[in-house]
């Protein structure tokens, strides 16, 4: 009887993963293609110095969103499914409402600090550039949090399509005008302002399309904050892990922007954006898998978690390896699509992409640790590993230029994947890596 129920749950999980995986894959493929063209068109629609400033501001905004979100994004994936599994709808709404306020406040504070800090840099002063980066940060922070809330509810297409597809397509259309010679280059300040307004408008429309994110539901529905201590206890850990896990490539971009030339800065930003494509399918799979892992963990369904893990590995390994081979063999050509002068960054692209490949072959280890109550141990591991890499960034950039920055960015992904596998095997008795296809995710005793 128990075995029959287990098989039934496993089949249900597989069907849900297949359906959700197909939808998230479709959106992420569309997003990847649009993202690829978006940054190419932006590079061609701006001057070289403008694109370098755009890359600097985009990386700065990414870091500020991670810091300003205060762990609420991963927290949504962790706690919304848990409250729904418990039937605690007021608690779920309480987390959601509080998350919007925390994200808005956190991103706004960090944005203002960025504006103040920009006054000490000759490259960033003048005009409204820092203010438009700040506005973009707030818009992106709200869009990212809302997307995570919708993902936690299982609304994958609604969570992703507005920002990942519609917004990117609109940005491509905007910058295509100067890219094909119909107007002069778009100044970076105006570029940030317009894409921020478009993103904020789409986020507002998206909120109105789902019951739990409509203003009347957020402001008038009964809520409960009884679990706030549990939320806060995990939030600072999620916050630390999120910032640390994305720190090295974005900080590397900022250091390259300050220490090296505009050409180096633009080429390195292009290499970073391309290398992330290796991790594309892992991002798509985790969008569905993370809230399902949290719900399965709440039920104590370890076999279900192993099924989810094997699906993610099957879904991500081969595409990741193929993209890496593309960049290894034709990286100079892909970089030249951004700017014909960027092909010199070929090996920087390969170094970062190689790190992402190791991360992909390590499976969803970070996601598993965070969804199964091991977030503190994971954060401590990241603190040591990435702290060393961050400390080495300035010497590496001084000594080896963008290739030194690429080494640090690639090693971050290697450390995250390898240490994550070790922790999953040790603490959860699950092998999340590609080897789970052989051993079914089970760790031998001893």
Which 3 state secondary structure label does DSSP give 445? coil
Can you give the pLDDT at residue 215? 86
Show the 3-state SS of 371-397: HCCCHHHHHHHHHHHHHHHHHHHHHHH
Instruction: Give first-to-last CA distance, the chain, whole Å.
Output: 31
CA gap 129, 124 in Å, rounded? 7
Asked if residues 418 and 362 have their Cβ atoms less than 8 Å apart, the reply is yes
Q: List, for the chain, all residue ranges whose pLDDT scores fall below the cut of 70.
A: 1-29, 32-33, 121-127, 245, 440-441, 443-446
Collect all residues with Cβ–Cβ distance below 8 Å to 266 and sequence separation of at least 6: 43, 48, 51, 52, 55, 338, 339, 342
Tell me the C-alpha to C-alpha distance, in Å, between residue 235 and each of 71, 238, 380. 5, 5, 14
Over residues 418-441, the pLDDT tens digits come to 888 888 888 888 888 888 787 766
Over residues 76-91, the pLDDT tens digits come to 888 888 888 888 899 9
Residue 425, token pair as written in the block: 């095997």
Closest CA to 228 of 346, 128, 96, 325: 96
CA gap 16, 36 in Å, rounded? 29
Residue 257, token pair as written in the block: 């922007």
**How many other CB atoms sit within 10 Å of the CB of residue 332?**
15
Can you give the pLDDT at residue 125? 55
Can you give the pLDDT at residue 443? 65
Which residue has 């500020």 as its token pair? 64
Can you give the pLDDT at residue 294? 76
Can you give the pLDDT at residue 1? 38
Over residues 26-39, the pLDDT tens digits come to 666 677 667 778 88
Can you give the pLDDT at residue 7? 42
């Amino acid at each position: 009887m128990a075995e029959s129920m287990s098989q039934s749950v496993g089949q249900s999980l597989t069907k849900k993963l297949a359906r959700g995986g197909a939808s998230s894959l479709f959106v992420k493929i569309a997003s990847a293609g649009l993202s690829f063209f978006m940054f190419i068109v932006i590079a061609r629609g701006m001057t070289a110095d403008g694109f370098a400033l755009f890359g600097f501001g985009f990386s700065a905004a990414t870091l500020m969103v991670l810091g300003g979100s205060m762990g609420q994004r991963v927290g949504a994936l962790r706690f919304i499914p848990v409250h729904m599994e418990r039937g605690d709808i007021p608690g779920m709404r309480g987390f959601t409402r509080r998350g919007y306020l925390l994200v808005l406040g956190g991103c706004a504070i960090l944005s203002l600090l960025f504006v103040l800090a920009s006054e000490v840099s000759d490259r960033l002063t003048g005009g409204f550039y820092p203010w438009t980066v700040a506005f973009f940060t707030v818009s992106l922070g709200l869009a990212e949090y809302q997307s995570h809330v919708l993902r936690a509810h299982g609304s994958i297409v609604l969570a992703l399509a507005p920002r990942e597809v519609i917004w990117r397509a609109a940005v491509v259309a905007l910058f295509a005008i100067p890219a094909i010679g119909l107007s002069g280059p778009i100044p970076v300040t105006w570029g940030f302002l317009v894409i921020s307004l478009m993103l904020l408008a789409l986020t507002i429309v998206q909120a109105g399309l789902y019951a739990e994110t409509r203003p009347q539901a957020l402001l008038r529905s009964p809520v409960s904050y009884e679990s706030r201590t549990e939320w806060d206890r995990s939030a600072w850990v999620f916050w630390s892990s999120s910032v640390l896990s994305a720190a090295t490539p974005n900080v590397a971009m900022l250091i390259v922007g300050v220490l090296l030339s505009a050409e180096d800065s633009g080429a390195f930003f292009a290499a970073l954006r391309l290398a992330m494509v290796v991790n594309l399918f892992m991002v798509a799979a985790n969008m569905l898998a993370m809230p399902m892992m949290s719900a399965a963990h709440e039920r104590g369904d370890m076999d279900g978690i192993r099924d989810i893990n094997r699906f993610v590995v099957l879904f991500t390994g081969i595409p990741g390896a193929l993209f890496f081979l593309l960049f290894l063999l034709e990286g100079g050509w892909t970089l030249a699509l951004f700017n014909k002068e960027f092909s010199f960054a070929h090996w920087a692209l390969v170094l970062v992409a190689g790190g992402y490949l190791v991360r992909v072959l390590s499976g969803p280890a970070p996601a598993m640790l965070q969804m199964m109550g091991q977030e503190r141990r994971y954060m401590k591991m990241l603190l040591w590993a990435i702290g060393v890499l961050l400390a080495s960034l300035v010497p590496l950039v001084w000594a080896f230029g963008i290739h030194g920055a690429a080494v640090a960015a690639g090693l971050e992904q290697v450390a995250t994947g390898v240490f994550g596998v070790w922790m999953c095997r040790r603490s959860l008795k699950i092998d999340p890596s590609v080897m789970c296809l052989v051993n079914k995710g089970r760790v031998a005793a001893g």
